[in-house]
Amino acid sequence: MKEFWNERYSEPGFMYGTEPNHFLSNQLDRLTPETILFPADGEGRNSVYAARMGWEVTAFDYSEVAREKALRLAQEHGVAVEYSVGDMLQNPFPDRQFKALAAIFTHFHDDQKPALLALYDRWIAPGGLLIMEVFSKRQIHYQEINPQSGGPRDVKMLFSLHQLEEAFSHYAFEVIRETETELREGLHHVGKSSVIQIVARKPLSF
């Protein structure tokens, strides 16, 4: 998979554009900037936006090519992003470090989801915020109509609401919904799509 992503990111231009994901930017615009982690951040459109808004940003991805492009984008905007190359499966961060974590189109196989979503929980500080937009399992049908609408073609790599509710059942949900949205994100997220959107706060006691 890492080779797939390095190849995709070796193409000219930004595969998902240079503008942030809308659901994310709407959330960031109403929050006071603190520390934030972007797992599987790709070419940096989201982490660079957060840095521009004054957040103290850490990001990682297992694609070196993505990191280079992200750092270039950060430089163009005159902001700093602490961006490392790492595999999520290696748990590259200490527990309870970040006041927010933004997981935007980060997709894993059903077998890996419980362990990886548990890592998100570990990395978020008590009282911290989880912001998430991912493709739902219904996206499989949207892809049949419009292959450009995005997301992995394997339904086991997509999310159900239940999987996320279960993983974060101890959080206070401000937003949790499966909804149809219109994506305009570069070359690969274009058109009507089915996504799950979450904003949830970790309790202070965890």
**Which residues bind to ligand SAM, rule: CB under 6 A?**
5, 16, 21, 40-42, 45-46, 61-63, 66, 87-89, 104-106
- With respect to ligand SAM, which residue has the nearer C-beta, 66 or 198? 66
Measure the CA–CA gap between 64 and 60, rounded to whole angstroms: 10
Q: Kindly state the smallest distance separating residue 88's Cβ from ligand SAM, in Å.
A: 4
Q: Kindly state the smallest distance separating residue 203's Cβ from ligand SAM, in Å.
A: 26
Q: Which residue is nearest to ligand SAM (CB)?
A: 42
- With respect to ligand SAM, which residue has the nearer C-beta, 16 or 93? 16
Cα-based distances in Å from 86 to 39, 66, 89, 185, 190: 9, 12, 9, 24, 28
Measure the CA–CA gap between 131 and 199, rounded to whole angstroms: 5
- With respect to ligand SAM, which residue has the nearer C-beta, 104 or 200? 104
Q: Kindly state the smallest distance separating residue 144's Cβ from ligand SAM, in Å.
A: 19
Measure the CA–CA gap between 77 and 73, rounded to whole angstroms: 6
Q: Kindly state the smallest distance separating residue 183's Cβ from ligand SAM, in Å.
A: 10
- With respect to ligand SAM, which residue has the nearer C-beta, 153 or 170? 153
Strands 98-104 and 172-185, how do they pair? unpaired
**DSSP-assigned letter for residue 61:** E
- With respect to ligand SAM, which residue has the nearer C-beta, 189 or 202? 189
Sign of the alpha-carbon torsion through 168, 176, 132, 188 = positive
